[in-house]
Amino acid sequence: MFKYNNEILGIQTRISDSCTSNCYPKDLIAFRWVFPDNRPDNFLPRALINHNGQELTKNRCNGWSLSMFDTEENAINELNCVYTNRPNIFKKLGTHVAKGNINPDDGLVSPINAKGHFEFFEFENSNIEVKFVTITMVCE
């Protein structure tokens, strides 16, 4: 069962499709954009972060997953790319990169795209935040 199971099931019913059909349990090292001060939204899915258009995000599968990268370099590069489009975006996405281990018990991992990005769907009992350590500052 997923951490945000009701929401994911609701979306799946509405779109008549699965959010996680191409996702699998895996052992891997993952990297995520975070803030360095252990704030709660470091590991909150997008749908729970207030913003204009939040209703749209709540109705999406990836609104209820965590955005991650397969390497530190990919995480830094992509944050820099997004920064080019929106210089203040680090105030919403994070200023640092954290590194952690993901195990099959933690949740399901989507396919990794060409930029090294993947979505991570947490299981109900996952405590993923304690497995991540902040390692690199990207923006001040």
Question: Helices in 4-138 by DSSP H: which ranges?
Answer: 5-15, 54-58, 72-85, 90-93
Nearer to another protein, 21 or 88 (CB): 88
Note whether 92 binds another protein by CB under 8 A: yes
Q: Which of residues 36-65 bind another protein (CB under 8 A)?
A: 46, 49-53, 55-57, 60, 62
Burial (CB < 10 A; 0-12, 13-18, 19+), residue 22, is exposed
Q: What secondary structure letter does DSSP report for 63?
A: G
Report the residue from 28, 82, 135, 139 that binds another protein according to the rule CB under 8 A.
Answer: 82
Nearer to another protein, 92 or 125 (CB): 92
Q: Which stretch binds another protein (CB under 8 A): 20-28, 34-42, 78-86, 131-139?
A: 78-86
User: Taking the chain, what is the end-to-end CA distance rounded to the nearest angstrom?
Assistant: 38
Q: How many other β-carbons are positioned within 10 Å of the β-carbon of residue 59? A: 14
CA 58, chain centre distance (Å): 14
Residue 113: CB partners within 8 Å, gap ≥ 6?
none
Q: Which of residues 3-22 bind another protein (CB under 8 A)?
A: none
Shortest Cβ 34–another protein spacing (Å): 13
Q: How many other β-carbons are positioned within 10 Å of the β-carbon of residue 55? A: 9
Shortest Cβ 69–another protein spacing (Å): 11
Shortest Cβ 51–another protein spacing (Å): 6
Kindly list the residues in this chain that would bind another protein in the complex (CB under 8 A).
Answer: 46, 49-53, 55-57, 60, 62, 67, 81-82, 84-89, 91-93, 113-115
